[in-house]
Structure 1
Amino acid sequence: MKYFEFTFTTLPCTDTMNDILAAFLGEVGFESFVECEGGLTAYIQQALYDESTLKSAIAEFPLSDTKITYTYTEAEDKDWNEEWEKNFFQPIVIGDRCVIHSTFHQDIPPAEYDIVINPQMAFGTGHHETTSLIISELLESDLKGKSLLDMGCGTSILTILARMRGAQPCTAIDIDEWCVRNSIENIELNHVDDIAVSQGDASSLNGLGPFDVVIANINRNILLNDMKQYVACMQLGSELLMSGFYVDDIPVIRAEAEKNGLKFVSQKEKNRWAAVKFIYPVG
């Protein structure tokens, strides 16, 4: 998976400024943000980057008397397992029930669900708030015997956990060929079965399903555009879990969901990121 690494310089450079900028960038496809001297470093998949969309977002920035400039380069390809090890990342423990770690980790804390992920990439490791929010939701859900779809599966952390909790059969789909290969590797590492992995976008859902549970942890714009296709492969009582957007985006996500016949159930929040749960259809 190829990424661009952007360096945004903000004047004035404040926490509030950078938080709002990250929110705006998240809406146009950026996935990861790191504060740096003078501003923000952000990453976006090369396939999702559109210069005119970025310039429009910056032009619509709501704070007056601010200046935002940026430069970007192609993000260096790295062995992200080596980066994890070199930087001494610790296993991720979520809800005292799920631990996510790589093969090099030692002294893994015991947990009900032990997931091994060799990411070989910057994202999809479980560190991001949106991933942990969906994991928390899955840990609370009754998944036994339920068919499940994970759109934008990445490393397939979510599918693997769902399968461990009894979801069956499971389908994992991602637009990126690398994610498909890495998902297959991670599924094998965790010795789970009945997970079909394929490459595609929402158009590939035609003829699939119905699914009892649909997960989509992507970004706001893709969710808004593709939600109708998720609903088309759901049935009476099916649940839709979505994340990849900020708390401020919940109203527009909810409006689109309700337009497609979904009923709002609940929401979770973590560091301004959000996850929402809907059920189909409205009773």
Structure 2
Amino acid sequence: MDYLEFKITCLEQFREILIAELAMTGFDSFLETEEGIDAYTLESDFDRAAFDEVITKYQDDAKIILEEGVMPKVNWNEEWEKNYDPIAVDNLVYVRASFHPSKPEFKHEIVINPKMSFGTGHHATTFQMLRHQGQIDHFGKRVLDVGSGTGILAVMAHLLGAREVEAFDIDDWCVNNGNENFDLNGLTTRMDLGTIREVNPQGEFDIVLANINKNVLLDEMSIYAHLLKANGVLLLSGFYTEDIEDLTECAKPLGLELISRQSKDNWAALILQKV
């Protein structure tokens, strides 16, 4: 069965948004490029109307240029190996694929074979979440990773000494990939499938990690606050710097106080504490 290939040139800040949107229409593999993204789907799974709707939605804002083609056979492992580069978050953690050599000079190392899942560390939101995790004491703590993608943040929590890590995602492909990455990094926990309301995590958590998008974060903020212990911390990302005020205004009545913020490429990340 042939794959359809769509080479999408777009502004950098729209790459992850387009990947998420296209994944919902049936695309099953993506490669990030210097110009934007390459997206792939089986001919039999392609929904032209849904695809056109996504492209039209972001055409102007993302400055999309589209090139379509057909790829008869795809060796995805070879494609990922050619296009996936390791990253370093300060001297805190080195994130690499299994085919890259180790670098023991870093405090921590995460092995991620990303496939089509989101959260490889390359995007500014994931990078900042990892950096913020390095500023928080995880030792002996109970951690919840909301919308886990590849599971990279859950792995980081484990490496930082968390006693217990729970993780879930709404995408079954992400769950499968996340569990593979858990195995690569020595986690025995399994990623669950569903939204936070469907998974319904129980008890209180010392740390909640949520790298999703603004609308989901606003909708679920009260749940995060309810799940946090007193003095527990909430790490948020997945939104632009201009959205910070909306997030903090939503969090404040729930007893969540902003204690740290950072930005990279106009993407923001926050640490809030339950007071």
TM class by shorter chain equals: 0.7 to 0.9
Deviation at 1:217, TM superposition (A): 0.5
**Superposition RMSD in Å:** 3.9
Between the aligned partners of 1:264 and 1:211, the Cα distance in structure 2 is 18
Equivalent residue of 2:121, what SS?
coil
1:257 and 2:251 are equivalent in the alignment: yes
1:177 and 2:172 are equivalent in the alignment: yes
State the partner residue of 1:230. 224
State the partner residue of 1:85. 81
The share of aligned pairs that are identical, in percent, is 34
Between the aligned partners of 1:189 and 1:158, the Cα distance in structure 2 is 14
* Distance 1:68-1:124 versus aligned 2 partners, 3 A rule: closer
Q: Cα deviation per residue 1:204-228 (whole Å; 9 max; x = unaligned)?
A: 3535131110000011111111111
Deviation at 1:147, TM superposition (A): 0.3
The partner residue of 1:191 within 186, 189, 194 is 186
TM-score, L = length of structure 2: 0.76
The partner residue of 1:97 within 92, 110, 119 is 92
1:156 and 2:151 are equivalent in the alignment: yes
Deviation at 1:261, TM superposition (A): 2.2
State the partner residue of 2:237. 243
Q: Which deviates the most, 215-224 or 102-111? A: 102-111
TM-score, L = length of structure 1: 0.74
* Distance 1:243-1:233 versus aligned 2 partners, 3 A rule: same
Q: Cα deviation per residue 1:98-150 (whole Å; 9 max; x = unaligned)?
A: 11111111363531111111112263211111111010011111111110000
Deviation at 1:81, TM superposition (A): 3.9
Contact 1:247 1:272 in 2 (8 A): yes
Correspondences of 1:37-48 after superposition (within 5 Å)? none
Gaps of 5+ in 2: 24-29, 40-45
Residue type at the aligned position of 1:277: I
Equivalent residue of 1:140, what SS?
coil
Gaps of 5+ in 1: 10-17, 62-66
Between the aligned partners of 2:241 and 2:117, the Cα distance in structure 1 is 24
Q: Cα deviation per residue 1:231-257 (whole Å; 9 max; x = unaligned)?
A: 221121111101011111111111111
Runs of 4+ aligned structure 1 residues displaced above 3 Å come to 4-9, 28-36, 40-43, 49-59, 67-81
Equivalent residue of 2:141, what SS?
coil
